Copies of this chain bind each other. A is one copy, B any other.
Amino acid sequence: MANPNDTFTKLCDHARQTGLLTSTIGILNWDEETYLPRDGRAHRAEQTALLAGMVHQRQTAAEVGGWLAELKESPLAADPHSTEGCVIRQLGRQYDKKTKLPQKLVEELTRTASLAQQAWVDARKADDFTAFQPWLERTIDLKQQEAAAVGVTDVAYDALLDDYEPGESTANVAQVLSGLREQLTPLVEQIVESKHKAPREILSRSYPVDKQAEFGKQAAAAIGFDFNAGRLDVTAHPFCGGGGPRDVRLTTRYDANEFAGGFFSILHEAGHGIYEQGLPADQFGLPTGEAVSLGIHESQSRMWENLVGRSRAYWEHTLPELQGAFESARGVGLDEFYFAVNDSRPSLIRTESDEATYNLHIIVRFELEQALLSGDLPAADLPSAWNEKYQQYLGVTPPSSADGAMQDVHWSAGLYGYFPTYALGNLYAAQFFDQAEADLGDLDDHFRRGEFTPLRDWLRRNIHQHGQRYSAAELVERVTGKPLSHEPLMRRLRAKFAELYDLP
């Protein structure tokens, strides 16, 4: 019998090399979105497909299975939160999931996702849901097969959610989100009825792009993103990517006549980036050096974007700097500016929605995709079901499927179970933020003085440094002493918007 320590070393070396390939794909993807010449795309697709294939082969290699089988029975696996326990558990999960999926199904999922996305682009442009419907049906069928293949026969959605929010259950998410929805819908109704309107025009003045880039970079650095280990570039859609623990790449987009889009995307992506930079670099390639879940990742971006960046205290510190950089912002009062960046109104498009309404957009999708997967909702009925829920939760009805059920890429790309992680991010963020305030004192006092390091370091200590030692649910309990709840977020939203909109 091999010494389990030797086997563990082999497993880790193997995973680290796989991580080098994964992070190389990260650079290729970033490059594709930023600087790749137009005609280089076909070749790039071949490069990434080859590397992705190598990564998959390595992750499902028989020798990995052998090492894991041996290690699971060894004393190294005893403590699930130790380095060894975490690595064995998480690589074991990955190996089991990936080896359970038949190669043929994986290829069919990839192929269909590619074709369905193209069909979605065309159908959306033509506002023709019936052209997209067969692709939606095919994708749902494949995702049901995927859930069955990994052994989930009860609630298919559980298997898919697990890819993004490992260990979380559909039932639990449903319970928390319906608690949120019950309180959020009346709040949004009150906002709609308020006579007060945010002076949004302030943000639509002239904001030269080069100054936005400079100002945004300073803002990201101020909240603790390390530009010696990262960058900021321009892409069509903002993201946080890159190629390794000390090479984190943010992107945003600028509009010379709109300040908020580019700026808050930077804070958002910087939040993701600070998490990546806070993961222990010596654990690179191992689960102990990787983010817990999409929801936890989103909690970091949302915290910096909304709980910090859309707070009054943040702008108390930052508005004078903004006014130094942009003529358009001069003469604007703090109250006005704070209200402008917190303008709330029910809208049709998720990606353009505000802090208060955003979660309702998510809840619509979360409820509908469960129904699509369980078979309760036939694909043909999706547009009407979508419109009904939008009317019910947000009080608006999309005039078209293009701006309704077809507005997001996710369902054509096979990303089912992904949407709720956005709302979970908001919920985790508020719950963590409450605890940070309890530990650090009034955070507004920090922000007013431009001090963001204490919060960043609190996040490092309590969240980032652990990698995947704890599941999202365990982490929330461990850090805040309570299970996930809608209350911290709801309390914050009510307080903020009641003040801004002078609600009863």
A42 nearest CB neighbor, chain B only: B246
Does A23 belong to the interface (CB within 8 Å)?
yes
Does A351 belong to the interface (CB within 8 Å)?
no
Judge whether A244 and B44 touch: CB under 8 Å. yes
Most chain B beta carbons < 10 A, residue from A51, A245, A246: A246
Judge whether B246 and A35 touch: CB under 8 Å. no
A46 cross-chain contacts in B, Cβ below 8 A: 20
Judge whether A47 and B246 touch: CB under 8 Å. no
A28 cross-chain contacts in B, Cβ below 8 A: 24, 27
Q: How many copies of this protein are present in the complex?
A: 2
What's the Cα separation between A17 and B27 when bound, in Å? 19
List A residues 226-284 near B (Cβ within 8 Å).
226-231, 233, 243-248, 284
Does A331 belong to the interface (CB within 8 Å)?
no
Size class of A's contact patch? Answer: 35 or more
Does A399 belong to the interface (CB within 8 Å)?
no
Contact with B along A68-98 (1 / 0, CB 8 A): 0000000000000000000000000000000
The answer to whether residues A246 and B37 also contact, given A27-B27, A27-B28, A43-B284 and a CB cut-off of 8 A, is yes
Does A340 belong to the interface (CB within 8 Å)?
no
Does A40 belong to the interface (CB within 8 Å)?
yes
Q: Distance (Å) between the CB of A226 and the closest chain B CB?
A: 8
Contact with B along A21-48 (1 / 0, CB 8 A): 1011001100100011111101110110
Q: Which of B50, B226, B248 contacts A20 (CB 8 A)?
A: B50
Q: Which of B31, B43, B227, B284 contacts A246 (CB 8 A)?
A: B43
Q: Distance (Å) between the CB of A19 and the closest chain B CB?
A: 9
A31 cross-chain contacts in B, Cβ below 8 A: 27, 31
Judge whether B40 and A229 touch: CB under 8 Å. yes
A40 nearest CB neighbor, chain B only: B247
Judge whether A39 and B228 touch: CB under 8 Å. yes
Judge whether B243 and A39 touch: CB under 8 Å. no
The answer to whether residues A47 and B23 also contact, given A40-B247, A243-B40, A244-B40 and a CB cut-off of 8 A, is yes
Q: Which of B20, B23, B43 contacts A244 (CB 8 A)?
A: B43
Judge whether B51 and A247 touch: CB under 8 Å. no
Residue numbers of A with Cβ under 8 A of B are: 17, 20-21, 23-24, 27-28, 31, 35-40, 42-44, 46-47, 50-51, 226-231, 233, 243-248, 284
A-B contact pairs, 21 of them (CB 8 A): A20-B47, A20-B50, A23-B43, A24-B51, A27-B47, A31-B31, A35-B231, A37-B229, A37-B231, A37-B247, A37-B248, A39-B226, A39-B228, A39-B229, A39-B247, A42-B246, A43-B243, A43-B245, A43-B247, A44-B243, A47-B243
Can you add 20 more A-B contacts, CB < 8 Å, to A21-B50, A24-B47? A20-B47, A23-B43, A23-B47, A24-B24, A24-B51, A27-B47, A36-B247, A37-B227, A37-B246, A37-B247, A38-B229, A39-B226, A39-B228, A39-B246, A40-B229, A40-B244, A43-B244, A43-B284, A44-B244, A47-B244
